[in-house]
């Protein structure tokens, strides 16, 4: 079955509920967004959560130095980057990062992306880098998912996530607005239903589930200098 990332976490109550319900990873947005959080808030939240889950910082147009400083300060495990700076990362120590790729009708995977970079496929919007609540044509993700592990995002909800997984067979699914009652505030009932549906035994199993999501990401990261 696919791993589960709950993104747009802004407070300890939602974070703890997601963990208790079985989420594999939490995402914290440092980019301009209704879900933006401060490094101080994230540090406080992560300090109260178990260490066996994956904690991800979401960045847009930050410098590599800024991302490293925030990563170290907060205690996040890896970074999710929504711009071409993802290609500046050196992953020769085995540390996997996440690169957001917004899907357009003519989207293709750049050949220069390192195999250790996990692609997150999201819906294209000229106004936002994520959290739009809109899906894209999942058939465009099928061929990419056959080539490399992907995280499927973009308009996922408790109602459509089973179909999404059965169609794409992603490494993980990412949800934000689909389990909210207000932007930045999770609906715990929707979150529970989403996680329950992903965990249903009828969902096509994946061999990677013998490991935790965090086990796919090592504790060291090296960035190429600009």
Catalytic residues: 7, 122
The whole-angstrom separation of Cα 148 and Cα 164 is 17
Q: Does an H or E element contain 152, and which?
A: strand 150-152
Q: What are phi and psi of 202, to 5 degrees?
A: -75, -15
The whole-angstrom separation of Cα 2 and Cα 4 is 6
Neighbour count for residue 107 (Cβ, 10 Å)? 15
Dihedral over Cα of 117, 221, 18, 100: its sign: negative
Beta-bridge partners for 29: 36, 58
């Amino acid at each position: 079955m696919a791993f589960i990332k709950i993104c747009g976490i802004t407070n300890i109550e939602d974070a703890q509920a997601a963990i208790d319900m079985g989420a594999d990873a939490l995402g914290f947005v440092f980019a301009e967004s209704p879900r933006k959080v401060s490094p101080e808030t994230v540090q406080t939240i992560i300090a109260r959560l178990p260490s066996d889950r994956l904690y991800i910082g979401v960045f847009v147009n930050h410098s590599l130095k800024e991302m490293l400083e925030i990563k170290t300060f907060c205690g996040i495990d890896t970074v999710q980057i929504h711009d071409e700076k993802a290609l500046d990362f050196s992953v020769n120590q085995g540390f996997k990062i996440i690169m957001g790729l917004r899907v357009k009708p003519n989207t293709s995977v750049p050949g220069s992306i390192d195999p250790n970079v996990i692609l997150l496929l999201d819906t294209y919007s000229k106004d936002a880098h994520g959290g739009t609540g809109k899906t894209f044509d999942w058939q465009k993700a099928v061929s990419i998912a056959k080539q490399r592990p992907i995280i499927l995002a973009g308009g996922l909800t408790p109602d459509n996530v089973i179909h999404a997984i059965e169609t794409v067979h992603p490494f993980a699914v990412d949800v934000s607005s689909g389990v909210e009652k207000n932007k930045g505030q999770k609906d715990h009932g929707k979150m529970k239903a989403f996680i329950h549906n992903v965990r249903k035994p009828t969902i096509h199993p994946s061999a990677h589930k013998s490991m935790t999501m965090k086990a796919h990401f090592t504790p060291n990261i090296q960035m190429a200098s600009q």
